[in-house]
Structure 1
């Protein structure tokens, strides 16, 4: 079974119900709910998503959404090694993308799903959009 790292933008597409992107994200998470694949997110994504949701909803509502969401995903840790790798890698000028990438590498993730493939152009792990991934399944 594929282990897939979901980038922050896809998680926010789902939980904030972003108009042009929600359906693809919902399809992806529906497959995880059916145990067809394992979706992983970095601890950083969880924190960033909470921040965004509290701008759109109350803190209480955001926490409740995240409690339910947590049942669908595996949260991979963000540690000193991953941080150091991201800081040292000029192939990922965006530090957050480097953290996502090295979280995937260190946790034996098979695929990264994002809307911003260009941010992962030097990835050794396949990088797909949600639409591309769903088309392959």
Structure 2
């Protein structure tokens, strides 16, 4: 299957910004593939809020904001609306936040969710892959 529109979860963005090994390399390749026009990167406003919360503690608020502004050149930020909350509340997902991410990704026709937290997406009808697994499909 060809995956064009990828939804990035918080842990993937944190791997990218904090250069967490051994995952950083794979996130860099995702960005390169996006810049080349081979894939579209998407995330949600909820992921952005969660990411900046963690980043500001690690690198400071100025650097955190700078990182996210740079991301906006490559990734599209999807809105976090009530329908995602409503669906998540009615779902069988064990992790509420991941349920919200799934419903946002589904609403915006994402082809895959990229995360390191695959176990919390067991009820997903969208393929869920790590960055490394996705890159192995190219």
TM superposition score category, shorter chain reference: over 0.9
2:106 is equivalent to residue 109 of structure 1: no
1:106-135 Cα offsets, whole Å, 9 max, x none, are: 111111111121111111111111111101
Long gaps (5+) in structure 2: none
Partner residue in 1 for 2:78: 76
Paired residues for 1:92-131 under 5 Å: 92-131=93-132
Paired residues for 1:5-84 under 5 Å: 5-84=7-86
1:48, CA displacement in angstroms?
A: 0.8
1:22-41 Cα offsets, whole Å, 9 max, x none, are: 11111112111221100100
Partners of 2:60 and 2:114 in 1: how far apart? 28
Aligned length: 136
Partners of 2:115 and 2:129 in 1: how far apart? 6
SS at match of 1:136: coil
Partner residue in 1 for 2:89: 87
Partners of 1:49 and 1:116 in 2: how far apart? 15
2:137 is equivalent to residue 132 of structure 1: no
Aligned Cα root-mean-square deviation (Å): 1.1
1:77, CA displacement in angstroms?
A: 0.8
1:21, CA displacement in angstroms?
A: 1.2
